[in-house]
Structure 1
Amino acid sequence: MKKLFLLAVFVIFFGVVRSQNYTIKKDDFAHTFSIVARDTVTGEMAVGVQSHWFSVGTSVPWGRSGVGVVATQSFVNPAYGPEGLDLMEGGKNASEALGILIAQDPGKEFRQVAFLDAKGNSAAFTGANCVEAAGDISGKNFSVQANMMLNQDVVPAMEQAFRSNAHLPLAERVLEVLKAAQTAGGDIRGKQSAALIVVGAMKVENPWEDKKIDLRVDDHEEPLVELERLLKVARAYEFMNKGDLALERENIEEALKQYGKAMEMYPDNLEMKYWTAVTLANTGRVEEALPLFKAVFSEDPNWREMTRRLPSSGLLKTSEEDLKTIINLK
């Protein structure tokens, strides 16, 4: 009986998909929990998601700076992402844009979708055929939604976590919401993948500038633990980028300050130590640079070889004597 029911569902769904000129694939089954959210201070917008499905980040989260974000899940119709963003960019608010797409989707009862626009308007839809426990809660600047959950506590726990973590930066706040969902019960099947994207408040000229944060955990026993680690690494590299910008302005002290913050966050990262050492050496502070070079070389001798190659590219500007001192560190 169960097999007949599932067969009927797939026959119906395949018919629906063909009517939209869209072919269902195995990776379109993203039963999951997610959040779309906006930071009222920065105007940044985010999507966070976790699922017991491989590479959920390739299908659920969509975003466009200055426009909005979309989470499309359950039996995913990926068209909701780009088409929803186009509608919001064209002047429709989140509710209007979602309503237009839902109205023209014969498979809507299999969908779960959330939209959020750049003004903080949110809207969500949970189709009647989404697997229980399924539901959504939308409010100003956020929407949380889930299907195929262990229990009915997941979505309320997500809302509570969003409201109680307003002091955090948006990405970290979204991560706390995902962690709360998992703690409350999460996906009835378990956990496998997660993703987090953050886009800016203002429109950008180039599409590659859209995502301020773009992190995916495709297959992991503890995807949220790994996502949290990746976010911490991403934050550390943000300090490195700030240091590079300060260096371009010839503000050496500010550059070193930013590099120092990066190393504090990610002390085992050789790249951060190395380029801090290079910056010190380039500004005549070779003695300060030597312990960092030594620590890096002791971990991986390839960095010593790279140091030999840097002067010809202009990235290491030291005297021949200082270069030899660095290269011959033991």
Structure 2
Amino acid sequence: MTFSIVARSADGRFHGVAVASKFLAVGAAVPAAEAEVGALATQAYANLAYRPQGLALLRTGLPADQVVAALVAADRGRAQRQIGVVGPDGDGATYTGDGCHDWAGGLAGPGWAVQGNILAGPQVLDAMRDAWLAGTEQQRFAERLVAALHAGDRAGGDRRGRQSAAVLVVAKDSGYGGTSDIAVDLRVDDHPDPVAELTRLLGVHVMLFERPDPATLLELTGPLADEVRDLLAAAGHGRAELDDALASWAGVENLEERLAPGRIDPVVLAHLRTTTSAKLG
């Protein structure tokens, strides 16, 4: 009832899952991932126990294909199961039981696996594979996952229609404030075009929570500092030193992850200009 990709970044730091389905809140059922361990997707008549069990097996150092084999061997319902697994190294692995609804199947390669059931046809997985392989490491990992999902959706996706989509990405200390390993966890639970909506949410996530590129930071001196100070004052945050005023405003706007003392991220500057100009009319 679902199509998904599980993958690992080329440097091995990131693991993730992107999934879409004609199924309510697919992100609550299919994906699982753990930093420096791996990722998996359980679908068709999903066995949700595969998620903790699969991650536990990956922690022992088993390669992805052996994790898949162990999970399905112990499952009496394996004929109607589908799973994709990727570990910290090696090839991804995928399994489709012979009782899954047509069309169903999977493909796998170095650091990735795609799988789906009740699909428009094998072209869905071919499109996902091709989109993944065409991605570059310059592209954000989560965006690359969602691009593969988009490709599958455009190729026909779930033949019953669309309802939900999700993306989950993990990496060590990559979460909010560096206090978790969850880099991205976005879900569209019920929407007429869930993959497009997931893409929109990912763009918002990048703006709000991605840490700034040090090479792009602008020094808060001279005319730029004067402009920022005036904009912050107009926004009601002008009664403090510049860094403190900017931090106060950024906290309200949920942009605190993009702060850098004495400098300003161009993304933050653009948002400050846009929102303040809108308030000023």
TM-score, normalization: structure 2?
Answer: 0.77
CA distance in 1, matches of 2:76, 2:11: 39
CA distance in 2, matches of 1:152, 1:42: 28
Aligned to 1:117: 87
Q: Which of 155, 158, 165 lines up with 1:194 in the alignment? A: 165
CA distance in 1, matches of 2:78, 2:179: 31
CA distance in 1, matches of 2:109, 2:31: 19
Q: How far is the alpha carbon of 1:140 from its aligned partner?
A: 0.9
CA contact (8 A) 1:66 1:202 kept: no
2:161 match: secondary structure: coil
Q: Once superposed, what is the RMSD of the aligned Cα atoms? A: 3.2
Distance 1:289 1:94, change over 3 A: same
Once the two structures are superposed, residues 180-211 of structure 1 have per-residue CA deviations (whole angstroms, 9 ceiling, x without a partner) of: 1111111111111110111126999xx96221
Identify unmatched segments of 5+ residues in structure 2.
Answer: 247-275
2:102 match: secondary structure: coil
CA distance in 2, matches of 1:37, 1:224: 18
CA contact (8 A) 1:39 1:141 kept: yes
1:289 matches 2:260? no
1:140 matches 2:110? yes
CA distance in 2, matches of 1:255, 1:178: 33
CA contact (8 A) 2:63 2:90 kept: no
CA distance in 2, matches of 1:195, 1:151: 21
Amino acid at match of 1:55: A
Aligned to 1:184: 155
Aligned to 2:69: 99
Q: Which of 126, 130, 142 lines up with 1:160 in the alignment? A: 130
CA distance in 1, matches of 2:132, 2:227: 48
Aligned to 1:271: none
Amino acid at match of 2:207: A
Identify unmatched segments of 5+ residues in structure 1.
Answer: 1-30, 247-252, 258-278, 298-303, 318-325
Distance 1:222 1:288, change over 3 A: same
Which structure has greater helix proportion? Answer: 1
Amino acid at match of 2:22: H
% identity of equivalent residues: 35
CA distance in 1, matches of 2:83, 2:170: 18
Aligned to 2:207: 236
Q: How far is the alpha carbon of 1:121 from its aligned partner?
A: 2.7
Q: How far is the alpha carbon of 1:315 from its aligned partner?
A: 4.6
Q: How far is the alpha carbon of 1:290 from its aligned partner?
A: 2.0
CA distance in 1, matches of 2:192, 2:84: 27
Which of structures 1 and 2 has the larger relative contact order (alpha carbons within 8 angstroms, sep 6+)? Answer: 2
Matched residue pairs, number?
245
CA distance in 1, matches of 2:174, 2:198: 27
Q: How far is the alpha carbon of 1:116 from its aligned partner?
A: 0.5
Distance 1:59 1:293, change over 3 A: farther
Q: How far is the alpha carbon of 1:97 from its aligned partner?
A: 1.4
1:79 matches 2:49? yes
CA distance in 2, matches of 1:85, 1:203: 19
Amino acid at match of 2:187: R
1:64 matches 2:58? no
Aligned to 1:33: 3
Q: How far is the alpha carbon of 1:93 from its aligned partner?
A: 1.3
Once the two structures are superposed, residues 36-67 of structure 1 have per-residue CA deviations (whole angstroms, 9 ceiling, x without a partner) of: 01111353111000111111100101000000
TM-score, normalization: structure 1?
Answer: 0.66
Q: Which of 173, 176, 187 lines up with 2:144 in the alignment? A: 173
Q: Which has the larger radius of gyration?
A: 1
